[in-house]
Amino acid sequence: MGRAWAQGTAPTGVASKTCPDAPIPLRYCRRVDLRLLRYFVAVAEERHVGRAAVRLHMTQPPLSRAVRQLEGELGALLFARTPTGVVLTAAGTVLYDEARTLLERAEQVRARVAVAAGSASLTVGVLADSAEQVGGGLVESFRRKHPRVRVNLRETDFTDPTAGLRAGLVDVALTRAPFDDRGISTHLLRSDPVGVVLRSDDPLAGRDRLSLPDLDGRSWFRLPEGTDPVWRAFWDGAGAGREPGEGPVVRTVHECLQAVLWNGTVGLTPMGHALPDGLTVVRLHGQPDSRLVVAWGARDTGPLVRSFVRTAAVGARAVRR
């Protein structure tokens, strides 16, 4: 981050009479670059330049320069530095509201052009019940913005955590991380703690929490050979004292639950999911959270994809509040 921005002094080119906390009426600006606004919104939402740079798939120095450029064009300081990152100034807060509106409007314009060109369709990949976990608000919001866009859904099983994105079968995906995300961008919608699925009559079912050593010697359900190794390592209970190849191979949520119900197999699941009678879940201590994400190709950011991602992100923030 540049010295002017980091220390809270006026950026280069800003007249001394400018009040850092003055509102910014965008109609008075000669030109506002949408690219700079996207950068600004990312920093505002992440509240940290480094995290915003990761989200934007760029390094921190050019992002900091872009923010300084925007501050210079608008004649106001947009961020104040804190020990943990940055916060919006009063001027930055005004710009954030305006910028989100402008970016959303720009996406709608691009989408309407796509409709007029006859190319208005979007294929959404879904892993298991990820769409249900996001909630129906996403459907309502997206349909309201793009009533003429045809949305196709493609559901995949556990063998492909990218839900068809890696193979180029879908435009955007609702899924769970971690997985091999090379060439794929993701936006976090929600983090869920992970627990162990057990039969209700299992001796461990009454515990408040479990650790992997508690499950030594138990039969775990397994993901098929060839499954994404990052994804597989997260869910297969590595370190639980079981022999390689032990336990049934499963590909769907239904197969996982039935393996536990019928055979007393154990496995992992995000907490908070509804379970059939006869099953329960106990929190697994030390296991990282399962991250519900919206994912898209890093180099494929068409207007409908961007609108879908933004709609999902806004909806997820509203649910968390």
CB atoms under 10 Å from CB of 16, counted, come to: 5
How sure is the predictor about 9, in pLDDT bands with cuts at 50, 70 and 90?
A: very low
| Cα 21–Cα 23–Cα 26 angle in degrees, nearest 5 | 140
Q: How far is residue 128's CA from residue 189's CA, in Å, rounded to a whole number?
A: 16
At residue 5, the pLDDT reads: 47
Which amino acid makes up residue 140?
E
Q: How far is residue 126's CA from residue 160's CA, in Å, rounded to a whole number?
A: 10
- In tens, the pLDDT along 287-317 reads 999 999 999 988 767 888 988 998 998 877 7
- In tens, the pLDDT along 47-70 reads 999 888 887 878 889 999 999 999
Statement: residue 3 has pLDDT above 60: no
